[in-house]
Amino acid sequence: MIAERVAGTDHLGPAKFTISTLQRMWESDRSRLAELVLAPLVSDCRAHPSAVASNGKTVGLALACKALAGYNRTGAENAKGGWLFSEWNNNYTKGTFWANPFNPRAPLTSPSGLNIANPVDQAPYGEVYDGSSLVMTTELNPSGPTSQGILAYSQATDPTSARYANMTRLYSSRSWVTLAYTQAQLNAEHPPVTLTLSVR
């Protein structure tokens, strides 16, 4: 994904990065992991159409293989097969994941390939493992940084607060908040208040 952006071959505009292209990359919901390992995963699944479950019973994997084969390699909420791919990845916790490990001389193209010989461990069914939290897109300019971001889980834990789901709704609609940096920008967002203390 980064190599495509640097070359300008991802259809997001001119080569290299701006706040806009960073945001469009993130909003595309592309799963780089799926792009790298889904094909060998499906091939291996089809080559081994059954497996022994944790209760000792043999279960067929044909429907799971079909679901994975139809996965569009994105994190979109309506991506068929996406949840199954995510569960597989979260359960894949033993041994060496990659067939080709990270190479510091080729940071944009490594690691790659799926180590299909690696066993799969078990993890609690239905557990939420990860997700976006604070996302920032920033340009470093001679006059100072320009930045937009979003706090995906919002700003309050109190369900009665107006800030309980404010940014989650923005996150869902792919909206961004401009982040203040200079003193003038901070003052505009939060005008300074003078507090006078007196001794009685």
Is residue 112 helix, strand or coil?
A: strand
User: Whole-model pTM?
Assistant: 0.64
Which region, left, alpha or beta, applies to residue 102 given φ > 0 means left and ψ of -120 to 50 means alpha? beta
Burial class (CB in 10 A: 0-12, 13-18, 19+), 45: buried
Note whether 6 and 15 are within 8 A (CB).
Answer: yes
CATH 1.10.1400.10 assigned to domain 31-114? The reply is yes
Written as one letter, the residue type at 67 is A
Give the residue range(s) of CATH 1.10.1400.10 domains in the chain.
31-114
Digit-by-digit pLDDT tens for the chain (200 residues) are 888 888 888 888 888 888 988 898 888 888 989 999 999 999 999 998 888 887 888 989 999 999 999 999 998 888 899 989 988 887 765 668 888 999 999 988 889 888 887 655 444 444 445 567 889 999 998 988 999 999 988 988 898 999 999 998 998 888 999 999 888 888 898 888 888 998 88
